[in-house]
Structure formats: C-alpha cells, structure tokens
Amino acid sequence: DTAVSQTPKYLVTQMGNDKSIKCEQNLGHDTMYWYKQDSKKFLKIMFSYNNKELIINETVPNRFSPKSPDKAHLNLHINSLELGDSAVYFCASSQAGGSEKLFFGSGTQLSVL
Amino acid sequence: GENVEQHPSTLSVQEGDSAVIKCTYSDSASNYFPWYKQELGKRPQLIIDIRSNVGEKKDQRIAVTLNKTAKHFSLHITETQPEDSAVYFCAASLGGTASKLTFGTGTRLQVTL
C-alpha cells in the first residue's frame, strides 16, 4: 500500500493549457503539502494544508490553486501553463505533533512544451 | 524567513571513505533539522533528524551534529557504499514542525568503486 500516491507520474502538455495533479495519503496525517523541484533539484514548498485549511502559500503565482476536498486529498490545479512551470511536483504529508517526518509521493514530472 | 545554505553542491568519495555535508541556517529560532536523501528518479526520504536540544545523533553509519552557536549542522556518512550515492538535502524548521521547513540546495554525493 502506497502511503502517499500522486497521479499522473508524467504530464506533457502545451503552453496555455490547464492541468491537474492529484494526491492522496492513507496515513491519517492532518497536513499535506505541494513541493516544486526544478531542474537544479531545488526543493521549494508551494502550499501546505492542515485539516483542509491553507496555512502556507509561498509566493506562488495565482495560476496555481490547491484544492483539498478532505484531509486525505490535496490536488493541484494549474491554469495557463508556462514553460517555466516545467518541474517535478511532489506531494507530501506529515503528522503535526508526531515525528515531523515528511512522507513524499513519487512525484509528477511536468513538461510544458 | 529562514535561509539554509548547503555545501558542497557535489561530492565524490571512494567507497569506504567518509563524506561530510555542511549546512548553515540564518534564524536562531530554528529548532528542528532533518536530512533527506533522494536517489535518482525517486522521492526524498528522511534519513536522520536532530532537534536543537541535542548536539549529536547517530544511526549506524550516519551521524548529524549541530552547533547552535554557530548555526550550522553537518551530516557525516562513514564507510560509504555505492548505494549512498544520491542527492542529500538538509533542512531547518522554525517552530520545530515539518510545516515550516526550509530546504538547502542539495548535495550530489557520488560514491565511486
């Protein structure tokens, strides 16, 4: 059983399109995140959700919108994709008050052509 | 906000040698310092972490040291093996939780035979 799963694994699309990445965790964690890893491998947090409420939004363009239907899911919707959005997007989860370990999904390689 | 610097960006060692990766942080209020390992094409995974009330922590061939006065912490890997080859990320957290992690820029470790 995969603890944090995200789909799709690969996403190739044209500039200007809208796309979504889905994430689900079965660990019972109350905090979920989206991280972006660029070509230089820098890991930057984009969003954090705690019990369905946004608690971090790190200077991310408003073309990116996270949506959390429940605490086990955190999806990422991207409007009007740009070349610079090409990266690997990782979903993650953690349990506040616990070990603080981040459990990452396997990543979504987004390529904008 | 917190700023984490990590050195070196690449490190090549021979199998059996030791490897040391160093990080500095800017905010003296940071009190949780995890290290993540990311193998090629895989997700980052926590390998060891330390809190500010501890100066050193060991787990088999891996150790982390923390110098709060100087605001730096280091990862030490002894008796390196080819499977240690990966990108290693340090991180620092304000408030001691995963939700406020700032990652370093990563170190690509190559263990050669």
Q: Which residues of B touch A50 (CB under 8 A)?
A: 99
The answer to whether the CB atoms of B46 and A102 lie below 8 A apart is yes
Burial of A80 (0-12, 13-18, 19+ CB in 10 A): exposed
Of B44, B96, B99, the CB nearest to A48: B99
Neighbours of B14 (CB within 10 A): 9
pLDDT exceeds cutoff 80 at A2 = no
User: How far is B36 from A18, CA to CA, in rounded Å?
Assistant: 32
Q: How close A16 comes to chain B (CA, Å)?
A: 27
pLDDT by residue (tens digit) across B47-96?
A: 999 998 889 999 999 999 999 999 999 999 999 999 999 999 999 998 77
Q: What is the pLDDT of residue A8?
A: 97
Query: What pLDDT shows up at residue A57?
Result: 75
Burial class (CB in 10 A: 0-12, 13-18, 19+), A6: buried
Positive or negative CA dihedral for B93, B96, B23, B26? positive
For residue B80, give the nearest of B65, B56, B57, B62 by alpha carbon.
Answer: B62
Cα–Cα distance measured from residue A32 to residue B67, given in angstroms and rounded to the nearest whole number: 30
pLDDT attached to residue B7: 97
Q: How many CA atoms lie within 13 A of B41 on its CB side?
A: 2
Cβ pair A71, A7 in contact under 8 A: no
Q: What is the pLDDT of residue A98?
A: 64
Measured between beta carbons, which residues in chain A are less than 8 angstroms from residue B89? Answer: 43
Mean pLDDT, rounded, of chain B: 95
Residue type, B60: Q
Question: Does the beta carbon of A10 lie under 8 angstroms from any beta carbon of chain B?
Answer: no
Q: Which of B9, B43, B49 to mutate to test the interface with A (most CBs of A within 10 A)?
A: B43
Instruction: Measure the CA–CA gap between A76 and A18, rounded to whole angstroms.
Output: 11
Of B45, B98, B108, the CB nearest to A94: B98
Residue B30 contacts A where some CB pair is shorter than 8 Å: no
| pLDDT reading at A110 higher than 90 | yes
pLDDT tens digits for range A48-107: 988 767 877 778 999 999 999 888 999 999 999 999 999 999 999 998 776 689 999 999
Strands of chain A (E only): list them. 4-7, 10-13, 19-25, 31-37, 43-50, 53-57, 64-70, 73-78, 87-94, 103-104, 108-112
The confidence band for A1, taking pLDDT boundaries of 50, 70 and 90, is low
As a whole-number percent, the residues of chain B with pLDDT over 90 amount to 88
Smallest Cα distance from A105 to chain B, Å:
7
β partners of residue B57: B64
The predicted model gives A7-14 an average pLDDT of: 97
Half-sphere exposure of residue A21, counting CA atoms within 13 Å on the CB side?
31
| Residue A39 contacts B where some CB pair is shorter than 8 Å | no
Across the A:B interface, residue pairs with CB atoms under 8 Å apart total 55
Estimate to the nearest angstrom the gap between the alpha carbon of A54 and the chain centroid: 13
The pLDDT assigned to B95 comes to 78
The per-residue pLDDT for B62 is 98
For A100, the closest of B32, B43, B108 (CB atoms) is B32
